[in-house]
Amino acid sequence: MSPTSSPLHGRLAVVTGASDGIGTVIATRLASLGAEVVLPVRSPEKGRRALDALRREVPDAEASTRTLDLASLDSVHALVTELRGEGRPVHLLVNNAGVMTPPDRQTTSDGFELQWGTNHLGHAALTLGLLPLLREGRARIVHQTSIAARRGRLREDAIDATPYDAMASYTQSKIAIGLFAQELERRSRAQGWQITSTLAHPGVSPTNLLAAQPGLGRSRELGARRVIRLLSRLHVTGTVASAAEPAVLAATAPASSGTFFGPSRLVGGPARPIALWEPFRDVGDARKLWDLTIDGIGPRFAV
């Protein structure tokens, strides 16, 4: 396939969390389809390694890094300002980055519980801040949720529960992502923004979310990750590569294919369109979440 005949030739894609794991695979797959890929990263060294890995797979790829710490709204605003200053339409935005269950409560630089602030608010601020470029590119936006969000509903008292409950906070951040995706799609249709908001979930795979992460206060990998690694080898759960495919499908499938994509089994299997989970269907919760989000991120990212 020649570069000019590639499905995503001439398209600009921004992929968060692309410095390792699922994100690197997503960015590489989009580059292989012809997209120019921007990798916003917190660690320059990890960003360089991710670019090297991407270019080994796609030698002629157009790819670059930018600086982004989703746990800082100042950092999000700086990236938004940089990209808007460049003035190029954004055709794909994949909100993939995330943190999971730090053992002790931590906060973002803006004072939000870390998982809520990083997984949801940081990505919401990035999406809304880039809205002019996304509208110009008639963009597809992919929001990465988790099987943790398949049950329950939005609960303000669980977002930052006292005492700290790591899994409850993680679940709330992932429910928020699903509700935000749905509300963004509704508002785009109502207001003629000409963007498409989709959801994906990766199933279960041995990514670094549960690895040793001293920065999160986790000195060793969780036992669950060792179990998942074994189940992945036995093809019960997914691999890192297969777990990236729902987001790639969400980014590239025809709009008529649906708005939510995941593995064919809850924990793994080929990517396909799936039914929207119950927690994401409540329009009232979605509107409440939108208002909470706007209050949280502040006027710099106002629509």
- pLDDT computed for residue 236 by the predictor: 58
- pLDDT computed for residue 189 by the predictor: 96
Structure tokens that stand for 78 in this block: 């700086």
Between the CA of residue 298 and those of 119, 125, 253, what are the distances in Å? 17, 9, 33
- pLDDT computed for residue 256 by the predictor: 84
In this structure, of 91-95, 120-124, 225-229, the range with the lowest mean pLDDT score is 225-229
Please identify every residue annotated as catalytic: 170
Q: How many CB atoms lie within 10 A of CB 269?
A: 16
Reply yes or no on whether the pLDDT at 209 is more than 80: no
- pLDDT computed for residue 114 by the predictor: 97
CATH superfamily assigned to domain 3-292: NAD(P)-binding Rossmann-like Domain (3.40.50.720)
- pLDDT computed for residue 217 by the predictor: 58
Reply yes or no on whether the pLDDT at 299 is more than 70: yes
Reply yes or no on whether the pLDDT at 300 is more than 50: yes
The secondary structure of residue 113, as a DSSP letter, is B
Reply yes or no on whether the pLDDT at 257 is more than 90: no
The more confident residue out of 289 and 255 is 289
Residue type, 110: D
- pLDDT computed for residue 303 by the predictor: 83
Residue ranges of domains in the chain:
3-292
The proportion of the chain whose per-residue pLDDT surpasses 70, expressed as a percent, equals 88
pLDDT in tens, 62-105: 999 999 999 999 999 999 999 999 999 999 999 999 999 999 99
Q: What is the pTM of this model?
A: 0.93
Residue with tokens 């809850």: 266
* Mean pLDDT within 131-151: 97
Reply yes or no on whether the pLDDT at 233 is more than 80: no
The proportion of the chain whose per-residue pLDDT surpasses 90, expressed as a percent, equals 83
pLDDT in tens, 3-53: 555 799 999 999 999 999 999 999 999 999 999 999 999 999 999 999 999
Reply yes or no on whether the pLDDT at 211 is more than 90: no
Reply yes or no on whether the pLDDT at 229 is more than 90: no
* Mean pLDDT within 197-201: 98
